Amino acid sequence: MKSAVKITTASLFSLLFPSDCRICGSALVHFARLPVCESCLAQLKPLDGVLCRICGEKLFSSHVVGAEGPLCGLCRRAEPVFRRATAYGAYEGALRELIHLFKYERVQPAGLLLGRLLAQAAQNMQMPQQTLVVPVPLWSDRLRDRGFNQAEAIAKAFLRLDRHSSIQLDTSVLVRTRETASQTGLTRRQRRVNVRGAFAVTSPGRVKGRSVLIVDDVMTTGTTAAECARVLRRAGAKEVFVATVARATREVERIMVSPVNAHGGIRGHA
């Protein structure tokens, strides 16, 4: 009887409120604020496999695992300015499309889900209770065109999950000082040059001696996060963590920097 009622209710909903999943296009049979089907939501899975213990990059060889844990080649050569970076899932498939729904099509309920995914990614970082959350800022022109900063919105959704937490949000202490070119199609070195000097701390006293968590939607090579961490450390921050919803794996990164896609095939990220 319950199954029959459920099927009847779903059929009635489809008849009265016809809608399609914004990711796969299949018909939605349940009412929800987020127009994404259960099948697509089930594809949102955390990163698995061997991950660098510092930058969180997915590694593809067991030879990188040392006595203290896995470490990528870049972190072996030079320790990053941030203490640790983490991401929920790979920047591909349903997660990539969900981020685009929020970021470019302004499907606001997607931001709440992205905030929950960020919280899952950050829960094992062992951050101090008084950590200051700082979203990566947008250049003023881009902020005006887009209408909102997706990193700030995700950070707010993340903090709303635990209103009793002593973690604080600061959306003005870190600013962009100049416009930067799209990172799409650039090499890792070119990306570093592109963002060098593009950020500044407005009030060093607000970060001095504090632990800071940088929040963004996607991490590709980590150059933007590293530059933000660098200026925060120079301003006196005790330590810097980085948390993003998605992380580009090496396969995805190769596609994003290929000559074909450098001319607009895939939207760029930091």
Of 199 and 165, the one with more pLDDT = 199
Handedness of CA 31, 36, 37, 38 (dihedral sign): negative
Residue corresponding to tokens 């979203």 = 135
Is the pLDDT at 10 greater than 50, yes or no?
no
The pTM (predicted TM-score) of the whole model is: 0.84
Handedness of CA 150, 151, 154, 155 (dihedral sign): negative
Q: How confident is the model at residue 3 (pLDDT cuts 50, 70, 90)?
A: low
Domain boundaries along the sequence of the chain: 8-42, 45-263
What confidence tens digit (pLDDT) does each residue in 63-120 have?
A: 667 677 899 988 999 989 999 999 999 999 999 999 999 999 999 999 999 999 999 9
What confidence tens digit (pLDDT) does each residue in 129-183 have?
A: 889 999 999 999 999 999 999 999 999 999 998 776 789 999 999 999 999 887 8
Contact between 180 and 138 under an 8 Å Cβ cutoff? The reply is no
Is the pLDDT at 33 greater than 50, yes or no?
yes
Q: Is 82 left (phi over 0), alpha (psi -120 to 50) or beta?
A: beta
Least confidently predicted of 77-81, 241-245, 266-270? 266-270
Question: Which architecture characterizes domain 45-263 according to CATH?
Answer: 3-Layer(aba) Sandwich (3.40)
Contact between 106 and 252 under an 8 Å Cβ cutoff? The reply is no
Is the pLDDT at 8 greater than 80, yes or no?
no
Q: What are phi and psi of 25, to 5 degrees?
A: 85, 0
Q: How confident is the model at residue 258 (pLDDT cuts 50, 70, 90)?
A: very low
Of 137 and 252, the one with more pLDDT = 137
Q: What is the mean pLDDT of the chain?
A: 86
Q: Tell me, what's the pLDDT at 256?
A: 45
Contact between 207 and 175 under an 8 Å Cβ cutoff? The reply is no
Q: Tell me, what's the pLDDT at 166?
A: 85
Q: Which one of 44-53, 68-77, 218-227, 229-238 scores highest in mean pLDDT?
A: 229-238
What confidence tens digit (pLDDT) does each residue in 39-71 have?
A: 999 999 999 989 999 999 988 876 667 677 899
Is the pLDDT at 259 greater than 50, yes or no?
no
Least confidently predicted of 3-12, 23-32, 126-135, 193-202? 3-12
Q: What are phi and psi of 217, to 5 degrees?
A: -80, -45
